[in-house]
Amino acid sequence: MRNKYLLRGIVFLFLLTLLPFAAMAEASASPNEDIKVLSESQTGYSSIRSAAVLGDTVYVLNPEGIYSWLSGQAAFTLAASHNQLEQLSLPEEERKPTISILLSDGQQLWGMDGSNARLFTLDISGGELVFGEPVSLQMQDRTQTYETDAGVEHSYMDMPEQALLMNGQLYCLFNNYQNNTQNRTLMSYDIATGEAASYDSEFITGIAAYKDGKLLVSVRDEDNSYDPATSAFVPTALGVFDPQSDTIEEIGTFADLNAGNMGMGMTIKYEKDKDAVLYLIGNGVVRRLPDGTEEKCAYLPTREFWGGTGDKMPLLPDGRVALCVGDTMHVRSTNPADLPATSLVIYGGEENNAHKAALQNMPDVSVTALQNKWFSSAQELGQALVSGEDGIDILFIETGWMDVANLLVKGYAADLSASPVFQEHMDKLYPQMKEVGMQDGKILALPVRLNIESMSLNSKAFAKLGMPLPATYGEVCQSVKTFYEEHAQEGEYNINMQTGSGWLKDLLLSTYTDYMAYKGEEMTLDTPLFRQMAEALASVNTQLMDDDEVDFSNNEDMNEFFQRPTLFTQGYSFDLQSYEYFLNRPDGNDMSAPDMFFGMKADQDAPPVVKGSAVVMIINSQSKNMDAALRYAENYIKGLDALSKVTFYPGENEPIINPDHERVVANFSQQLAAMKVALEKAEGAEKTEMEATIKQMEENFAQYNEYGKFLASTAAIAAYRQLMENSYIATYKTNMLMSQQDLSELRERYFGGQLSLDQFIQESDAKLRLIRLENQ
């Protein structure tokens, strides 16, 4: 008896000890999850195209098949394989239907084949995809046709932007860009017969299933969405659409004027239990309650919800929403209490890999970009930081266009010196990059982006014309003169990607500015070098260049222009990824593209200087979320991708292999195989056209196979390092001659002939002197 009670006591104590673990498990089950589609491809090719909810399961469609996910699972599982590219290689009679959009009516999964306007049921219960009998949809009016240069007519079907199944009808919202309007058309198709019904109700931008056979719709005339009188967007209305009467009853408006402003319509969803409407805006989901009040209820780590068709925001049975971006589904609670307690506001950032890496490591912080705000000067930015009205925590600022140094001196930037992550980053940087972030030995700004602006040209075009390659500004002027004297009349070449004489005039000032900035000298124009360069420009008949200007609004002129090879290829920046292609592309390909990048010399004795434009990340010294801001910045730096590291750190010289190269090659092969199968059945002009297309594809394939292996090859890195040897980072001060308004006006007057060179030099130097002395 005593033993029985002892045993019960031991079991009780044992169960008691399990309680904390149970509580921990309960606490750690986060309402917010990010679920990836795990497939062989690492970038883009497993992108989710469409999603649908059936019961407790979320199904997503990607090029490889249909994946499923149940709440609690760590990843998607392949429910049924259906590689649509592989299907194209099969004879037509053996091919399974294409699935463009995955849909659910709550009872059944459906697939829509957008190319052939068919709808069919889908059954994947057995692990194999079983297609129901397809119903042909009357979508003839959504067929678009075009004729190729070979005179072959092709047609394609418009894909709906949004689609949903309700009460035996497939409702589709189509865009009408081909009719030069931003407004959309709502159609419905009977799922049993395919019969189409069109509606006169206008300006619908989003649809969601409602009740009593009606739809919830968002409404706004997108062609007139901006009201100049108020300098704001017109509010988007919320309405109830009755398909029977083809009428919309407006029941209110959405509070945020930016709702639906990305040109992608509005993503809305009806929440039955709360009689509320959920809508997607920016990187959040907002709930609009029946009384019109709104509350943010979900935070998303990205704004990039560009793609996806069908149901863009499936609602799960537990009230959470699921949004798909790339190969990831973001499942989010719509309970405002589950929103991250901390938030960061970022000005000037972009959603690059480092940003995404930072967000991945801090799901407990809501990171939002400051919308609809642009600070054109350090003064405006400083006032905003002092007043705190925008609550900016982190800033990304380009050093060439805003006086970052002044912001640092004035104490607007937090001291980041204590962080070993930042210290390591700064120590590895090019010295000229490190300099822009340091002040009195402290790390106040982190360089996180760098673009270099080098001169570029097409050396093969120069060789064909028998012209020497220029290295100095004077030699560029001579090249222009020679071109117009000897070759322009033939009309077979362009002198530059930019027409007119503006580029040559700007090049005078930019080359001289780069030279002075690189040497670290105070800017003055009263030097023999500048006069020599100005005289070289004066010797060119710029009127001939201006007469040669092309009207790029005229399609015919523009096409003709781009058919011709070009000598100077300004507009192309050096790019690690494209370098090999530019250097080694076959003769005759892309004759407007460069094959040589170099720094422009002011004269023979000057170094070939290259200007770098850097963006720095600054943490607001008055930020109320300093810890979170520091975490973000550290995660950002740690998340810099391999290409960025090669760009910033002179010690990183290992070539970067393209992780997607094999997959792309495999895809290319599949596409070629599919084309060849289709070629066997083609005849006449269509066959000729297909043969030409296949030939071009094979050439592109060979090119990619050869040069697509690396994101940055050894040769590209070496070329980049050489350019960086004589580089400097542009700052507000060094850009003064090109950007300061008074100096710009003087420049215009000089180039317009209103000022002589001496007057221009005298007046410019006087202004530069004033600017310099003011700051002493």
Partner 1 sequence: MFTKKKSLWLFLLPGLAGLMVFYLVPFIGGIYYSLTDGTIQNNIVGFANYQRIWQNEVFRLGLKNSLELSLISAPLIFVLSFLLSVMLRSLGRASLPFRNILLMPYLVPTSAMLIVWTLLFDYGGIINRLSVWLGAGRVLWLESHMLRVPVVLLYVWKNIGFSIIIFSAALQSVPEEFYEFARLEGAGAWKQETRITLPLILPTAFLVFVLAWVNAFKIFKEVYFIGGAYPNEAVYTLQHYMNNKFAMLDYQDVTTAAYSFAVIVLVLFGILYARKGVRGVE
Question: Could you give the CA distance from residue 468 to residue 476 in angstroms, rounded to a whole number?
Answer: 10
382 or 650: CB nearest partner 1: 382
- Max CA separation in the chain (angstroms): 117
CB of 633 to partner 1, least distance (A): 19
Nearer to partner 1, 135 or 746 (CB): 746
Q: What is the 3-state secondary structure (H, E, C) of 712-763?
A: ECHHHHHHHHHHHCCEEECCCCCCHHHHCHHHHHHHHHHHCCCCCHHHHHHH
Which residues have a Cβ under 8 Å from the Cβ of 30 and sit 6 or more positions away?
363
Asked if residues 601 and 579 have their Cβ atoms less than 8 Å apart, the reply is no
622 binds partner 1 (CB under 8 A): yes
Instruction: Single out the residue of 230, 489, 543, 775 in contact with partner 1 (rule: CB under 8 A).
Output: 775
Quick one: CA torsion of 82, 88, 94, 100, rounded to 10 degrees? Answer: 50
CB 750, min distance to partner 1, A: 11
Count CB atoms within 10 A of the CB of residue 49.
18
Binder to partner 1 among 7, 409, 463, 692 (CB under 8 A)? 409
Q: Name which position in 99, 277, 746, 761 contacts partner 1 (CB under 8 A).
A: 746
The residues in 724-743 that bind partner 1, with binding defined as CB under 8 A, are 740-742
Please give the Cα distance from 644 to 429 (Å, whole number).
Answer: 11
Asked if 375 contacts 397 with a C-beta cutoff of 8 angstroms, the reply is no
Cα 297 to Cα 339: distance, rounded to the nearest angstrom: 7
Min dist CB 425 to partner 1, Å, is 25
Return phi, psi of residue 636, to 5°.
-65, -50
Amino acid letter at 636? Y
Q: Tell me: does residue 388 bind partner 1 (CB under 8 A).
A: no
Binding-site member from 39, 98, 621, 667 for partner 1 (CB under 8 A) = 621
Give the 3-state DSSP-derived string for 179-208, with helices as H, strands as E and coil as C.
HCCCCCEEEEEECCCCCEEECCCCCEEEEE
Residue with tokens 């056979």: 213
Place of tokens 């901006």: 226
Q: CB of 753: closest distance to partner 1 in angstroms?
A: 10
Q: Which stretch binds partner 1 (CB under 8 A): 206-214, 276-284, 524-532, 749-757?
A: 749-757
640, 352 Cβ separation under 8 angstroms: no
CB half-sphere exposure, 683, CA atoms < 13 A: 0
**Cβ distance to partner 1 smaller for residue 336 or 388:** 388
Nearer to partner 1, 354 or 404 (CB): 404
Q: Which of 250-258, 379-387, 561-569, 718-726 is the region at the interface with partner 1 (rule: CB under 8 A)?
A: 379-387
Which residue, 513, 536, 537, 539, is CA-closest to 525? 513
| Cα–Cα distance measured from residue 101 to residue 159, given in angstroms and rounded to the nearest whole number | 9
Phi, psi (deg, nearest 5) at residue 526: -85, 70
Nearest-Å Rg of the Cα atoms of the chain is 31
Which segment (13-21, 94-102, 404-412, 684-692) binds partner 1 by CB under 8 A? 404-412
Residue 666 and residue 671: Cα distance in Å, rounded? 9
Toward partner 1, which CB reaches closer, 180 or 776?
Answer: 776
Q: Does 771 bind partner 1 (CB under 8 A)?
A: yes
Residue with Cβ nearer partner 1 (668 or 750): 750
**Contact criterion met (CB below 8 Å) for 540 and 477:** yes
Return the number of the residue (377 or 541) whose C-beta is nearest partner 1. 377
Cβ burial of 178 (10 Å; 0-12, 13-18, 19+) is exposed
**Residue 767 binds to partner 1 (criterion: CB under 8 A):** yes
Q: Which of 39, 406, 613, 703 binds partner 1 (CB under 8 A)?
A: 406
Does the footprint of partner 1 cover residue 770 (CB under 8 A)?
yes
**CB 379 → partner 1: shortest distance, Å?**
5
Q: If binding is defined by CB under 8 A, does position 411 make contact with partner 1? A: yes
Residues that bind partner 1 (rule: CB under 8 A) add up to a total of 33
With contacts defined by CB under 8 A, name the span among 75-83, 100-108, 178-186, 410-418 that binds partner 1.
410-418
Which residues, listed in sequence order, are joined to residue 456 by a DSSP beta bridge? 597
387 binds partner 1 (CB under 8 A): no
Q: By CB under 8 A, which span of 272-280, 387-395, 528-536, 760-768 interacts with partner 1?
A: 760-768
Q: Report if residue 224 touches partner 1, rule: CB under 8 A.
A: no
The strand pair at 342-347 and 394-398 is best described as parallel
Query: Least Å distance between CB 426 and partner 1?
Result: 22
Rounded to the nearest whole angstrom, what is the least distance from the CB of residue 620 to partner 1 in the complex? Answer: 10
- The one-letter amino acid code at 629 reads A
Stretch that binds partner 1, among 104-112, 381-389, 671-679, 690-698 (CB under 8 A): 381-389
Per rule CB under 8 A, is residue 378 in the interface with partner 1?
yes
Alpha carbon distance 475, 536 (integer Å) = 9
What stretches of 520-641 show up as alpha helix (H) in DSSP? 528-538, 542-547, 555-563, 576-584, 626-638
- Smallest distance, partner 1 to C-beta of residue 415, A: 12
User: Is the Cβ–Cβ distance between 309 and 158 less than 8 Å?
Assistant: no
766 binds partner 1 (CB under 8 A): yes
Please answer whether residues 122 and 109 qualify as being in contact, where contact means their C-beta atoms are separated by less than 8 angstroms: yes
- Compute the 3-state secondary structure of the chain and give helix, strand, coil in percent, each to the nearest 5: 35, 25, 40
Looking at the Cβ atoms of 645 and 772, the one nearer to partner 1 is 772
**Two tokens at 756?**
């002589």
Smallest distance from the beta carbon of 382 to partner 1, in angstroms? Answer: 5
Q: Does 763 bind partner 1 (CB under 8 A)?
A: yes
Identified binder of partner 1 from the candidate list 30, 181, 377, 696, rule CB under 8 A: 377
216 or 755: CB nearest partner 1? 755
Interaction mask 278-307, partner 1, x per CB under 8 A? ------------------------------
Interface residue with partner 1 among 403, 514, 595, 686 (CB under 8 A) is 403
The interface region with partner 1, picked from 174-182, 472-480, 670-678, 748-756 by CB under 8 A, is: 748-756
User: Based on CB atoms, which residue is closest to partner 1, 125 or 776?
Assistant: 776
For residues 637 and 370, what is the distance between their CA atoms, to the nearest angstrom? 21
Helices vs strands, H then E, count in the chain:
22, 43
Residue 382 is a binding residue for partner 1 (CB under 8 A): yes
CA atoms within 13 A on the CB side of 187: 21
Question: What is the C-alpha to C-alpha distance for residues 298 and 281, in angstroms, rounded to an integer?
Answer: 10
- End-to-end Cα spacing for the chain: 96
Q: CB-wise, 593 or 771, nearer to partner 1?
A: 771
How far apart are CB 636 and partner 1 at their closest, in Å? 24
CB-nearer residue toward partner 1: 198 or 377: 377
Is residue 776 within the footprint of partner 1 (CB under 8 A)?
Answer: yes
Per rule CB under 8 A, is residue 410 in the interface with partner 1? yes
The correct pick among 624, 721, 754, 758 for binding partner 1 (CB under 8 A) is 754
- Can residue 745 be called a binding residue for partner 1 (CB under 8 A)? yes
71 binds partner 1 (CB under 8 A): no
| Region near partner 1 per CB under 8 A, out of 123-131, 198-206, 328-336, 745-753 | 745-753
Q: What letter represents residue 120's amino acid?
A: F
Q: Looking at beta carbons only, is 668 or 760 nearer to partner 1?
A: 760
CB nearer to partner 1: pick between 130 and 386: 386
Minimum Å distance from CB 637 to partner 1? 24
Task: List residues near partner 1 by CB under 8 A.
Answer: 377-379, 382, 385-386, 403, 406-407, 409-412, 621-622, 740-742, 745-746, 749, 754-755, 759, 763, 766-767, 770-771, 773-776
